[in-house]
Amino acid sequence: MRFYVPSDIYVEKNCVANHKKDIIAMGSRAFIVTGRHSARINGSLEDVTSALTDGDIPYEIFDEVEENPSVETIVRAARIGKEFQADYVIGIGGGSPIDAAKAIALLIANPEEDGSCLYEARKLDYLPIIAIPTTCGTGSEATPVSVLTNHAKKIKKSIPYKIFPALSLVDGKYLASAKKSLIVNTAVDALAHMVESYLNSKSNLYNRLFPEYGLRLWAENKEALLSEDPLNESQYELLMLVSTIAGMAIAHTGTGLPHGMSYDLTYHYHVPHGPACGYFLGAYMEVCSRHCPDDVRKILDLLEMKDLDEFSAYIRSLIGTFEIDEKTKESFVSAMEHNESKLSAAPCTVTPEDVRFIYDKSLISKPLE
Ligand SMILES: [Fe+2]
């Protein structure tokens, strides 16, 4: 059993300002990678740029990372970062900018490479990365994972490099300006990370510390997530902390079938990542419960839920349902039946019938038009 998260992670109020010295000490030219709007609205971009200005660190901002960042965006950003001669990268935002920052840091550090190296398992260096999450789901600040969309191959997939941030600064205050729906969606992603890490072939007594603790904390916000009311400061802090803990969980085990199944919904139907995973969680747990009922029982106990029906009903109230036509569902089923990497992440044998069961139970069949 091994614990390995080689990122310096701070979770606290005013985290960026508190660690100004660490931000300045990371290098001499910073390349900031973020999305178009939210980092400006929630104050995280200003916190970072004022720290860099105070330290006389020149910086360049690339603020064009889209949701589910594409290889094309990564290549374009890396070109700008190379021209700027950046020697470290700061990713600010949800999973998309932070995952993008990792891939961009890899390309800048290897100027002779083009985007094709991103999907080749090679030994390549990368620039140091600072991760500043502003949503409560990705956990990318504590994982080596970078998920990119490859339009040429029509897939959304993790690149095969393990790129941990050098420094992660986590502050719940950045959630205060986020829409409630975004908070709910990303919190469901964190939930999926913990469930899929717990019900995983790589799960063991040691790395279960993370989902066991995180699920219990997640349950504390269960009703608040469901309610129409806005969340308060301590709830923002707790959600952000849980997201980082959930990241630590998948840093050790990887994700499982629900994440594998989610990518098609996101790629083809633009379903946000959290719900795309969340739709499959109940049925995945049901399949696992046939083989390891005690583990599923444990998850339900940590979440303070009496059975899988209550779990599924709760998730439905939170994120609704998704309709799909039979033909498309069939194509997803046949692809997933051969997805060895995700099938082998399950703690039990998942048969083709189990895969079909998960799709059938999780997605509503759309009547033919
Ligand atoms: Fe995820």
160 shares its domain with 228: no
Task: For residue 2, tell me if it sits in a domain.
Answer: no
Same domain, 226 and 329: yes
pTM of the model: 0.96
Same domain, yes or no: 192 and 277: yes
Count how many domains the chain has.
Answer: 2
Q: CA nearest 65: which of 92, 101, 34?
A: 34
Distance 218 CA to ligand 1 centre (A): 15
**Axis-axis angle for helices 209-220, 180-198 (nearest 10):** 150
Is 290 a residue whose pLDDT tops 90? yes
Question: What is the DSSP pairing of strand 129-133 with strand 147-150?
Answer: unpaired
User: pLDDT tens digits for 218-258?
Assistant: 999 999 999 999 999 999 999 999 999 999 999 999 999 99
Collect residues with CB below 5 Å from ion ligand 1.
189
**Mean pLDDT over residues 88-101, rounded?**
98
Distance 273 CA to ligand 1 centre (A): 7
142 membership: H or E segment, kind and range: none
Single-letter amino acid, residue 192: A
What is the average pLDDT score of the chain? 96
If you measure from the C-alpha of residue 276 to the centroid of ligand 1, how many angstroms do you get, rounded to a whole number?
A: 9
Residues 149 and 247 in one domain: no
Closest alpha carbon to 68 in 263, 255, 250: 263
Can you give the pLDDT at residue 366?
A: 82
**Which secondary-structure segment (H or E) carries 324?**
strand 323-325
Whether the per-residue pLDDT at 354 is higher than 80: the answer is yes
Report the CATH number at residue 314: 1.20.1090.10
Residues 229 and 132 in one domain: no
Q: Are residues 358 and 252 in the same domain?
A: yes
Residue 369: pLDDT above 70? no
Q: How far is CA 330 from the centre of its chain?
A: 27
Clarify whether residues 151 and 198 are in a common domain.
no
What is the whole-number distance in angstroms between the Cα of residue 281 and the centre of ligand 1?
Answer: 12
- Distance (angstroms) between ligand 1 centre and the Cα of 199 equals 15
Domain with 123 in it: what CATH number? Answer: 3.40.50.1970
Q: Does one domain contain both 49 and 84?
A: yes
Which secondary-structure segment (H or E) carries 270? Answer: none
- What CA–CA distance (Å, rounded) separates 319 from 274? 9
81 lies in the same domain as 208: no
Asked if residue 3 belongs to a domain, the reply is no
Predicted pLDDT at 153: 84
Nearest to 283 by CA among 328, 340, 216, 350: 350
Question: Distance, CA 202 to ligand 1 centroid (Å)?
Answer: 17
Q: How many angstroms separate the alpha carbon of residue 274 from the centre of ligand 1?
A: 7
Evaluate if residue 121 carries a pLDDT over 90. Answer: no
What's the confidence (pLDDT) of residue 288? 98
Out of 149, 174, 199, pick the residue that ends a domain: 174
Could you report the per-residue pLDDT of 31-84, keeping only the tens digit for each?
Answer: 999 999 999 999 999 999 999 999 999 999 999 999 999 999 999 999 999 999
Q: Is residue 88 part of a domain?
A: yes
Helix axes 308-319, 293-302, angle to 10 degrees: 50
The answer on 356 and 265 residing in a single domain is: yes
The dihedral through the CA atoms of 341, 347, 352, 356 has a sign that is: negative
Q: Are residues 76 and 165 in the same domain?
A: yes
Tell which of 174, 197, 227 closes a domain: 174
- Which contacts (CB < 8 Å, 24+ apart) does range 78-81 have? 78/103, 78/104, 78/107, 78/108, 80/31, 81/31, 81/107, 81/108
Report the pLDDT value the prediction gives residue 57, as an integer from 0 to 100: 98
Same domain membership, residue 63 and residue 127: yes
Average pLDDT, integer, range 305-312? 98
Task: Summarize the confidence of residues 303-330 as an average pLDDT.
Answer: 96
* Domain final residue pick, 129, 152, 174: 174
Distance CA 144, CA 6 (A): 9
Gap between the Cα atoms of 243 and 237, Å rounded: 10
Which domain, by its residues, includes 316? 179-366
What Rg do the C-alpha atoms of the chain give, in angstroms? 20
What are the pLDDT digits (tens) for 169-190?
Answer: 999 999 999 999 999 999 999 9
